[in-house]
Amino acid sequence: MNTQTQNEELKARDSQAIPAGLSKQHGIYIERADNAQLWDVDGKRYIDFAAGIAVNNTGHRHPKVLEAAREQLNYLTHAAAQATPYARYVELCEKLNDLLPGDFAKKTYLMSTGAEAVENAIKIARAATGRSAFIAFSGAFHGRTMMAMSLTGKTQPYKKGFGPLFPEVFHAPFPVTYHGVSDADALEAVEHIFKYDVDPSRVAGIIVEPVQGEGGFYPASKGFMQALRKICDDHGILLIADEIQTGFGRTGRLFAMEHFEVAADIVTMAKGLGGGFPISAVSGRAEVMDRIPLGGVGSTYGGNPVSCAAALAVLEVIEEERLADRAEMVGRRVMERFERLKEDPALECIGDVRGLGAMIAIEFVKDRTTREPWPDIVKPMISKAEDNGLILLPCGVWGNAIRLLTPLTIPESLLEEGLDIFEESLRDVVAERRVVA
């Protein structure tokens, strides 16, 4: 008699069919979802604090997004925009141009993934400036394709075994006050790159996440972003904002750059734009975007009609339901809860809590004085939370942080239930590790 659960059966099939390099944070297989809840193939229900890695800002299967996608299916599913254009593509680009920060004319085109958006942003910067070099930051994550991976500032697991990487990519430390890197330190490092590694006249762009994602959810400061803007202006360098994880209400603004009163020359977007449908975009100053050679960019599936329809609906939902304001509310609730946990002497492993809007991380350390990272608690914590019905994700260069990315539509009762599970799971794991020690 076969006593395997469906999850166990799928895991066995997975190991035979899919390369081991495609890692999975959780050992469950999801069958259905609704707003901020998931159900696996065995029928177990989970509260989702991951949102498909910041994709489902509008929740899983938002009715308005589904309605828009279903309606589009009746008319057109694919045509390839560069072969036979269609209205939805134009409408979405117009909308994004209107919504992006910056008091200047903008132009946009569409692709399918965030990494594809980053790759294209680099091509645009090179075409527009005639320069070849780029500066990125330690801890950054920009994707897994070759140029995006070269820009990424985290070796494990993204770069090991895939070299050599692209030349003329230089990394400066990202300002992380908790670990002793100030804004001044980071800005001085950029100047050192100009003096020791590459003349600024060869630098096409500086790419930055307004809040680092995989690197640990470290928000940049207004002063730092404005200083980067000045460096770029002084040297004719393009400022590229990677808003793939921070965009579409996640940080309490439609775009995180709005917090800093800084407009980037090029912006990459994906994730929350499609509400679960694959779509990405690159937007930028019109005079920059118009330097792209004719036929120099394109994507067979980029700006798929169904994804465009879904994205237009997503933008309506964000506005109508005031999801940027809800992100602020969710962020306050989470931060208040985490700060209370941090004050508990039994939870001295909590070193730092931080974030912007509903983009929150909690970092674990072995010792609050030395701030030595404690990654060994994260995997057991995520596993315990899964057992208790909560989906979490790790982050951080040392893998010692957990990030919270709830759907912005999460009901308050579910948010509180999820935070209760988080606390219960953390206390259990800490107690278990004390016993083992």
430 domain residue, yes or no: yes
pLDDT value for 251: 98
16 domain residue, yes or no: yes
292 domain residue, yes or no: yes
- Could you tell me if 70 and 184 lie in one domain? yes
- Residue 280 pairs with which residues in a beta bridge? 111
Instruction: Among 295, 320, 345, identify where a domain stops.
Output: 320
- Residue 52 pairs with which residues in a beta bridge? none
- Residue 208 pairs with which residues in a beta bridge? 241
Chain Cα centroid distance, residue 56 = 11
- Could you tell me if 311 and 344 lie in one domain? no
- Could you tell me if 267 and 228 lie in one domain? yes
1 domain residue, yes or no: no
- Could you tell me if 273 and 344 lie in one domain? no
What's the domain count of the chain?
A: 2
Percent over 90 (pLDDT), the chain:
92
- Could you tell me if 374 and 420 lie in one domain? yes
- Could you tell me if 47 and 123 lie in one domain? no
CATH code of the domain containing 423: 3.90.1150.10
- Could you tell me if 41 and 85 lie in one domain? no
Of the pLDDT bands very low, low, confident and very high (cuts 50, 70, 90), residue 23 is confident
- Could you tell me if 45 and 101 lie in one domain? no
Q: 304 pLDDT exceeds 50?
A: yes
What is the tens place of the pLDDT at every residue in 325-365?
999 999 999 999 999 999 999 999 999 999 999 999 999 99
Domain region containing 200: 65-320
145 domain residue, yes or no: yes
What is the tens place of the pLDDT at every residue in 102-133?
999 999 999 999 999 999 999 999 999 999 99
Q: Give the pLDDT mean for 184-197.
A: 98
Chain Cα centroid distance, residue 200 = 28
Q: Give the pLDDT mean for 181-195.
A: 98
Q: 437 pLDDT exceeds 80?
A: no
Instruction: Among 276, 299, 320, identify where a domain stops.
Output: 320
Q: How far apart are CA 285 and CA 386, in angstroms?
A: 44
- Could you tell me if 328 and 315 lie in one domain? no
- Could you tell me if 228 and 312 lie in one domain? yes
127 domain residue, yes or no: yes
DSSP string, 101-149: SSSS-EEEEEESSHHHHHHHHHHHHHHHHS--EEEEETT----SSHHHH
Instruction: Among 320, 353, 368, identify where a domain stops.
Output: 320
Q: Give the pLDDT mean for 196-202.
A: 97
pLDDT value for 25: 86
294 domain residue, yes or no: yes
- Mean pLDDT over each residue of the chain, to the nearest integer: 96
Cα atoms in the 13 Å half-sphere on the side-chain side of 77: 3
Chain Cα centroid distance, residue 379 = 20
Cβ atoms 364, 400 nearer than 8 A: yes
- Could you tell me if 268 and 337 lie in one domain? no
pLDDT value for 1: 57
Residue 279 has phi, psi (to 5 degrees) of: -165, 145
Residue 113 has phi, psi (to 5 degrees) of: -135, 160
What is the tens place of the pLDDT at every residue in 57-98?
999 999 999 999 999 999 999 999 999 999 999 999 999 999
pLDDT value for 157: 87
Q: Distance of CA 204 to CAs 207, 286, 294, Å? A: 10, 17, 20
- Could you tell me if 256 and 353 lie in one domain? no
In terms of DSSP bridges, do strands 393-395 and 390-391 run parallel, antiparallel, or are they unpaired?
Answer: unpaired
What is the tens place of the pLDDT at every residue in 383-435?
999 999 999 999 999 999 999 999 999 999 999 999 999 999 999 999 987 65
Q: Give the pLDDT mean for 251-269.
A: 97
Residue 130 has phi, psi (to 5 degrees) of: 70, 15
Cβ atoms 218, 185 nearer than 8 A: no
CATH code of the domain containing 197: 3.40.640.10
Q: 436 pLDDT exceeds 60?
A: no
